[in-house]
Amino acid sequence: MPLPRGLPVVDHHCHLSPSGEGVAAARRFARAGGTHLFLATQSYTPEPPRTLEEYRAQFETTERLAARVREETGVRVFVVLAPYPIDLVSATAAIGPAAALEAHRAALDLAGRWVREHRAVALGEVGRAHFPVPADVASLIEEAFRHALRVARDADCPVVVHSADLDAEGFRELATRAREAGIPADRVVKHFTRARVASSGTDGVAPSYLAQRELVRQVEHDPEPWFLETDFLDDPRRPGAVLDLATVPRRAEAIAAEGSDAAERLAIPFVRSVERVYGLTLAPGEGRAS
């Protein structure tokens, strides 16, 4: 069964690179039925940025990629910006903890400025390491996370969190951290969620689920807010990782084939959750033409 007419089809978290497929991957997404991408920045150089100017260049690369995708494919792109929390691991070793944290904070401030200028819609990825790091580096990452939450509060924008996998207790702790910083929990997204968390266990935080077939089956009837993402890396060394950019449209087609209430169910990750968390209204006319 085809996707409902006019339905936006949204990949909530992906990366594109000028040294990878770039626009070609977005074209594949569009051909599969995708209409909107949330494009998160990433490092485009062999070593992560270590200065504010290097981060500015990274953000500008993401912005140019987003503009090209819009112009060449018709896909709408929402940019998400922040220094990656794991950058602090290598930066601390290279330039020392004080300089690394200073550059990271400055890059977070820059990302917040871009949100206020409507060049980005959210701060992300921010958060914590997803693997063990030395205690001194973990402390720096925590301080950077605190600063990120303050920046998101002041920019009045959502925050997209990178971390290890979270259970219900982890979601509650994340919601508490956000509220303590002055951010409503429903403006926080846990990116790369790989297992279903019941809505009663998220404490308002929105899980962005990796669009794996079985996981989508588990969550497709859950109430809002939640999203689907591929976390497509656009890395020539890992083609198709994490999931190919055509995956979310394919999962949407599978849901559409299941019954007459498909449009209502698909509106949760593609329309209502986007509006609730980001304040963005994706009108029916912005979706598929047929």
Q: Tell me the average pLDDT of the chain.
A: 94
Share of the chain above pLDDT 70, in %: 97
In a domain, 45, yes or no: yes
Residue 259 lies in a domain: yes
pLDDT digits (tens, 9 = 90+) for 209-221: 999 999 999 999 9
For residue 1, pLDDT beyond 80: no
Q: Is residue 27 part of a domain?
A: yes
Average pLDDT over residues 103-128: 98
Q: What's the residue count for the chain?
A: 290
Count of domains for the chain: 1
In a domain, 200, yes or no: yes
Residue 278 falls inside a structural domain? yes
Q: Does residue 4 lie in a domain region? A: no
Q: Taking the model in full, what pTM does it have?
A: 0.95
Q: Is the pLDDT of residue 260 over 80?
A: no
CATH of the domain at 186: 3.20.20.140
98 falls within a domain: yes
Domain-embedded: residue 93: yes
Q: pLDDT-based confidence at 239, cuts 50/70/90?
A: confident
The residue segments making up the domain with residue 29 are 10-286
Query: Quick one: average pLDDT of 253-282?
Result: 92
DSSP codes, 47-98:
S---SHHHHHHHHHHHHHHHHHHHHHH--EEEEEE---TTHHHHHHHHH-HH
The string of pLDDT tens digits covering residues 274-288 is 999 999 998 644 544
> Is a pLDDT exceeding 90 seen at residue 195?
yes
